[in-house]
Amino acid sequence: MASGFFALLDDIAALMDDVVVMSKISTKKTAGILGDDLAVNAEKATGFVSSRELPVLWAITKGSARNKLIILPIAFLLSAFAPWAVTLALILGGVYLAFEGFEKIYHFLFHRKHEDNEKTNSEDVIVLSEEEQVVAEKMKIKSAIFTDFILSVEIVIIALGTVIGRPILFQILVVSIVAIIATIGVYGIVALIVRMDDFGLKLLGLNDNKKSISHIVGNALINVLPWVIKSLSVIGTIALLLVAGGIFVHNIDFLHHFLETIPSFIRDLIIGLAVGFLAFLLVRLFVFVRKTLFKGQEGQ
């Protein structure tokens, strides 16, 4: 009886050890999307008065947790009864990620200067009322939660893809751990990022000596915050394309042997860019056709 109990404990320990190892692997595979999630939510949580940054971030965090609670059961059901749907969802999600990555690059290359000129030439300062600020805040939170939902689907599906074919209990444990890390880790880091400038101001207030360590560190934290957010955006865009390319390479047979002689990350980037470009063209074509049809109906 005792030997059976200890054998059970040994099996549980072995299972948990395997779960930890696979959780690490799954987390590494989702790192690209986690980076983009981090960049997106750091941007979404900034632009508010200091007192509202953490409440806004907490609202987004709760929305992210709800997203995971919706996505996880559906993903496990698909894995159990329709594994092919997991691969299909992974590829479709990869197309979306590639499109989003290419769209960001296109926007940076062709629309950034135009927007900068508009901001420079604008002389009107728009002051929102308290009610309008509340509405704007709610809209920004909804936008962040929706973006998180899409990224959460990809995180869960990619994590699930690493353990597909394993027992369902093993899948649930691994993917749930990745989902928890994705929520707590990402939003914990975002909270630190959005409060960097406030922490810097507190350090500046410790003394008036500009050569003191607190003053130097405080100034550095304040000045580096915009660069951190910008760099996260760039890293997130590259990560989107790399993750998308990796999805296609590992799930589409004829791409698995495409450009095998070059480093895998360059191959993934090339494929991600190519798919993103095609998806971008299709979307622009669809928008053009729809506008043309609507104009034709209005003319009648």
Convert the pLDDT of each residue in 151-173 to its tens digit.
788 788 878 777 777 777 878 88
What would the pLDDT profile of 19-41 be if each residue is shown by its tens digit?
A: 555 566 566 666 666 666 676 66
Distance between CA 225 and CA 231 in Å, rounded?
10
223-271 pLDDT, tens digit per residue, is 887 787 777 777 778 877 887 888 888 878 778 777 777 888 888 899 9
Q: Could you tell me if 16 and 168 are in contact, meaning their C-beta atoms sit under 8 angstroms apart?
A: no
- Per-residue pLDDT for 13 more than 50? no
Please state, as a whole number, how many other Cβ atoms lie within 10 Å of the Cβ of residue 124. Answer: 5
pLDDT at 278: 95
**CA 213 to the chain's CA centroid:** 35
How far is Cα 99 from Cα 95, in angstroms, rounded to an integer? 6
Tokens at 250, concatenated: 């590992």
Q: Does pLDDT of 178 surpass 60?
A: yes
Angle between helices 130-162 and 168-194 (to 10 degrees): 140
pLDDT 10s digits, 36-80: 667 666 666 665 666 677 788 888 888 888 988 998 898 888 877
Alpha helices in the chain (DSSP H): 2-29, 31-44, 50-81, 83-110, 112-121, 130-162, 168-194, 196-204, 213-251, 253-256, 264-299
| Separation of alpha carbons 102 and 229, rounded Å | 19
What count of Cα atoms within 13 Å lies in the side-chain half-sphere of residue 271? 28
Long-range Cβ contact pairs of 171-176 (< 8 A, separation 24 or more): 171/76, 171/79, 172/76, 173/15, 173/19, 174/19, 174/22, 174/23, 174/26, 175/26, 175/72, 175/75, 175/76, 176/72
How far apart are alpha carbons 73 and 87 in whole angstroms?
A: 16
Q: Confidence class of residue 187 from pLDDT cuts 50, 70 and 90?
A: confident
pLDDT band, very low/low/confident/very high, at 123 (cuts 50, 70, 90): very low
Cα–Cα distance, 52 to 50 (Å, whole number): 6
Structure tokens at 159: 């994590």
Instruction: Note the pTM of the prediction, 2 decimals.
Output: 0.68
Q: In terms of Cα–Cα distance, which of 285, 288, 272, 283 is closest to 95?
A: 272
Please state which of the ranges 11-20, 70-79, 144-153, 193-202 shows the lowest mean pLDDT.
Answer: 11-20
Distance CA 208, CA 273 (A): 51
> How many other C-beta atoms can be found within 10 angstroms of the C-beta atom of residue 114?
8
Cβ neighbours of residue 280 closer than 8 Å, sequence gap 6 or more:
99, 102, 103, 106
- Report CA Rg, the chain: 23
Domain boundaries, the chain: 2-198+227-299
Residues in the chain: 300
- Alpha-carbon separation of residue 289 from 46, 133, 161 (angstroms): 37, 37, 36
**What pLDDT is stored for residue 264 in this prediction?**
81
Residue 8 confidence (pLDDT) above 60: no
Assign 257 to helix, strand or coil: coil
